[in-house]
Structure formats: C-alpha cells, structure tokens
Structure 1
Amino acid sequence: MTDASLRYPGFYVVGRAIREHRMARDMSLRRLARLMGTSPSLLSSWETGERRIPAVPLGWALGLLEVPAAECHLLGRLHAESERASYVEGNDSGEISLQRAYDRYTLHTYEWAPKVVPDLLQTFGYAHALPGARPQPDDVDQEIFARRVRQVDRDSRHRHTLLLGSAALTLEGVPAEVVQAQLQEITSSPNRWQVDTRIVPADAAVSPTIESFVIYETAEKAFTVVLRHEHSTVYLSDLTTVRRYKSTFDALQRVAVAYDPATSC
C-alpha cells in the first residue's frame, strides 16, 4: 500500500466500490479488465486504492457494472475530491452526502456524540421526541427509514464504536423511557448494527465538552475525520489532524463506561 493511498482514503473507498459491484455481478477481475481494455494488475491497484483510477476508466467501470445512477454520481463526486487531504461539502445541496460512501465502504466507525444519539442510530420514537423534530411525523419516519437503508448498505464486517456523553441520557423534553429504549436498542448484545456503545461521564478527566466528530477507518488503515456543522460537512485526512482526533477519541474511550440501564435515566 502506497503512502498516497494512506493519505487519501477516497482512493480506497472508490476502489472498494468498484470491487464490490464487480463481485456482486460475479465478474472476475480479468474479465472486467478485458472489457475496460486495461490490465488485471492495473485494475487491481485501482480496486485496492494503491493508485487513483482516472475519471474515464472509472466511468467505464461503473457503466459496465451497471451501477445505479445515484451511486455513480456519488462516487464521481468522491473521486473528484479524492486527491485532497481535506474538503468541504454543503449540507443544503440537495445531493446525497459523501458520508454515505464512507458509511458503506469503510470497515470501522469511531464516533463521539456528546449530546445526542447520532442520526444514523436513532429509533423512530427517539427521533420523534427530540426537541426541534420536524412537525410532520411522516417526514421524520421517511428520514428514519432512509437511515435504516444506510445501515443495511454497510458491510457485514463493519464495526461502530460509539462514545456517548452523559448529556445524551438526560435530554430535556425527551421522556426517560424513550431514551432508555433507544439506548437499549443500540447496546443490546448481540445487535444487528454491531455498535459498541459506551458512556463518557460528565465528571470524566477528559472534557465531555469536545464537539462531536466521526472517524472512518478503511481495511487498509486509512482514516478520514468528519465534522458536521449546521450548513456544511468537513472531511479531513491529513495525518496530523487524524492523529489528533484519534488521540482525543482514545482518551475519551479510556474513561468511558458501559451503559447500565439500572443506574441511568
């Protein structure tokens, strides 16, 4: 694995998408390479993220594999950003977030959520009860359903390490039984989401006031830090930033404790 691929996880995410669609169609590496007019070794280096696939071969691969148009567009956007160590995506563009590609094609998510259970893991009851939830129940239900689809899209090997701040257990206006049911669903063992959830106490040595963040890890140990703000989402892959956020997460994890419904809420 080259230094470039470790620095730019987008190389790997796009390559893995090609590989998974190829395997889903039961197509050999040699056959796809032949159809694309390239060598199996070069195609393999694109799939493993050792090299960045050029835009034209990417289009050929996605077309030959009959990848749905929405995902083609998503992977095209990610490909365009894949040589940057950082980039910003507007949240009001009306397009599917690039974060969906990371959700689907990486193998480990590390998430710090100091105040509320992350969107992707929210139950229907919890989402409806949150302060500021959409007034139309159908809108909330449709959004939660879309999140469930994202969960199903994840690789079965994907692991999610979630650290919740204690404030997430005592949300104003959300009934204690709703919070308890939400936490029970994501902490039950075994659970279908493969989420390892722990709580960071308010009096922990590491300040629980640190803002929320997500770190995605690929099978090749390439990392992307994702910071979601009100109007934009920032993706950071430079090594200094990654090490800083991973160090923060490790410190939070050291003081985190298992969720105990008997003493919570």
Structure 2
Amino acid sequence: MSLPSIRRPAVLLVSSGLREARERRKIGLRHLAYRLRMSPARLSGLELGKRIAHPSDVSHILGFLGISGVEYEKFMESAKHVYDDNLVATDDMRSFSLMWTYEQMSDRIVEWSPFCLPDLLRLPQHFDREPGTDEEPACPELGPLERTVRREAVLDGSRHYLFLIGEDALRSAGNEPDADAQIRSLRSVASLHHVTVRIVPTTANNPSPAHAFTLFEDRRTPMAVAFKNVHCTAYLTDRALLDRYSGTAKSLQRQALRNAAAADTLADFTWGRAL
C-alpha cells in the first residue's frame, strides 16, 4: 500500500480556489480546458492539487475566468509559495479553506488543546469571553459559519476524531456556571463511535507543546499539522515537523491512557471520570 502524498498548503489553496472560481462562473471543466488549450486531465489535476499550478498557469487560468483585482492578487500570492512545505495564513477565509480541505482529505484528525476546550467541543457561550473574566477568549475561535460547518463534519461519521484535552482546560471549563451543560455535551460527543475524548494530565515536566495543534492523518500517516494563534494559522507539511508532531500526539495519548487508568486516585477529577 502506497503512502498518501503530502499536499503543500499553498498548492491546496490555489487548486481549491481555481475549482471554486470556475464553478462559481458555471463553466464546465472540459469547456475551460478547451479554451485554455489544455487537456481536461491536466486541468483536473491542477484543480485537485495533484499537479502543481505554476504562477504562469494560474495567471493564464485566471485571465480566462475574468478574475482581477484583490482576488487575482491573493491567487498570485499563494502561487508564489506552491513549493513551500509550510505556510502562515493570516487571512481567515484562506485559513478556513485550508483547514476544511485538509479535514476532507483525512481519515483521522487529532486535536490537542492544553488550556481550553477545543472549538468543536465548546458550548456557544464559551466564545463570548475568557472563563471567569470579562476578557476576550485566549483560545482563537472559528467564525460562526465555519464552526457550524466543522461541527457538522464531526457528527457525520466520515472520519475519526481524537480530542486530547489538557486537564487544566477541563478544570477551567468545570468552574463555569454552565459546567453541567458542558459535561453533558462532552459526554454526548464522546459517545459517538467515531469520536474519542482523552484527558491529558498536567505534570511538572510535561514535554508537550503549550500551543494547541490539529494533526491531519490519512491511514494513520500525518499529512499536515496546523496550529493557531489570534492573528494567524500556520500549516506545516515538512516531513520532519510532521513526524515530530505525530510523535507528540502519540505521547499525549499514552499520557491520557495512563491518566485514565489512575483517574480514581486523582483528587477533584469528576470530569475525567464522567467522560
């Protein structure tokens, strides 16, 4: 069995953008390929990210689609990075496009969230402010539409989700007035056959990264990793970095399994037992 190919983030941005732009204009792939004097197979490969769209290819296609101005500039900026293994996305729509594309290509997604519940598991009111304060949340959040789309993907059962939640995140959520509703929600999601929720204990010498990350896998082989802060999301496909984050995810899961075995001995661990 061959290993899944790694798709660089800028390649996916360009390919999915070209396909969306063509479909938005209601132009068939074969018709556009004919006008471009390009084989349909080659154009399809460019739109699926199986072929790298060079900047000259992108400019040529955009011209026939009548794309100009800001949209054109964004396309061409992405096209400059099609050979880069990593990409920092500062535009919310570009970031969500990448997140969604990698998610659809994956058969398993691992989310590590050390200090707050993952976006996909939090109640809507948790997005209003940082728990226990009047401040904006420290955890970057998805927009309402993007969050809804991803939540529906979690529920449809097309892929497996492994949520690794830091003990500190769970305790913080447990101190909220709506803690009972939150634990019922967590329990409901964790009961799905394709969703696993694990609690990772806090230790003084924990080697795990402090930042949250999302690991996208196909046949248990890492394809990409994303980690967010308030202003941007970094998407990494460098093989050494993928191996590092994959190893980290496995280490976190081992810690969580050991923690589950010892849960009865942990003080104040009602939430961990409830899951």
Structure 2: runs of 5+ lacking an equivalent: 264-269
C-alpha distance in 2, partners of 1:178/1:130?
17
Give, as a single letter, the amino acid of the residue that structure 1 aligns with 2:162.
Answer: T
Q: Aligned match of 1:263 in 240, 250, 273?
A: 273
C-alpha distance in 1, partners of 2:192/2:25?
33
Q: Aligned match of 2:94 in 84, 93, 98?
A: 98
Structure 1: runs of 5+ lacking an equivalent: 136-141
1:83, distance to aligned residue in structure 2 (A) = 1.9
Q: 1:149 to 1:47 in 2, by over 3 A?
A: same
1:165 corresponds in structure 2 to 166
Give, as a single letter, the amino acid of the residue that structure 2 aligns with 1:146.
Answer: L
C-alpha distance in 2, partners of 1:13/1:240?
22
2:176 corresponds in structure 1 to 174
1:152, distance to aligned residue in structure 2 (A) = 6.8
Written as runs of structure 1 = structure 2, the 5 A alignment for 1:67-216 is: 77-90=77-90, 95-106=91-102, 107-108=105-106, 109-128=109-128, 130-131=130-131, 132=133, 145-151=144-150, 157=158, 159-171=160-172, 173-175=175-177, 176-189=179-192, 195-202=195-202, 207=207, 210-216=210-216
Q: 1:77 to 1:24 in 2, by over 3 A?
A: same
C-alpha distance in 2, partners of 1:80/1:209?
30
Deviations 1:107-145 (A, max 9, x none): 33322111211235432133346425667xxxxxx9762
C-alpha distance in 2, partners of 1:73/1:96?
16
2:33 corresponds in structure 1 to 33
Residues 86 and 237 in structure 1, CA contact (< 8 A), matched pair in contact too: yes
Q: 1:7 to 1:77 in 2, by over 3 A?
A: same
Residues 22 and 28 in structure 1, CA contact (< 8 A), matched pair in contact too: yes
Give, as a single letter, the amino acid of the residue that structure 1 aligns with 2:190.
Answer: T
Give, as a single letter, the amino acid of the residue that structure 2 aligns with 1:263.
Answer: R
C-alpha distance in 2, partners of 1:57/1:233?
27
Secondary structure of the residue aligned to 1:111 is: strand
C-alpha distance in 1, partners of 2:239/2:271?
38
C-alpha distance in 2, partners of 1:71/1:178?
43
- The yes-or-no answer on 1:228 pairing with 2:228 is yes
TM-score, normalised by the number of residues in structure 1 = 0.67
Query: Alignment length, in residue pairs?
Result: 247
C-alpha distance in 2, partners of 1:218/1:19?
23
Q: Percent identity?
A: 26
Residues 204 and 255 in structure 1, CA contact (< 8 A), matched pair in contact too: no
Give, as a single letter, the amino acid of the residue that structure 1 aligns with 2:145.
Answer: A
Deviations 1:228-262 (A, max 9, x none): 23544333221111111111112222343589968
Residues 110 and 163 in structure 2, CA contact (< 8 A), matched pair in contact too: yes
Task: Say which one has the larger Rg.
Answer: 2
Give, as a single letter, the amino acid of the residue that structure 2 aligns with 1:240.
Answer: A
Q: 1:144 to 1:52 in 2, by over 3 A?
A: closer
Residues 8 and 86 in structure 2, CA contact (< 8 A), matched pair in contact too: no
Q: 1:206 to 1:20 in 2, by over 3 A?
A: farther
C-alpha distance in 1, partners of 2:249/2:226?
13
Secondary structure of the residue aligned to 1:15 is: helix
Give, as a single letter, the amino acid of the residue that structure 1 aligns with 2:273.
Answer: T
1:45 corresponds in structure 2 to 45
Q: 1:241 to 1:143 in 2, by over 3 A?
A: closer
C-alpha distance in 1, partners of 2:121/2:58?
32
1:139 corresponds in structure 2 to none
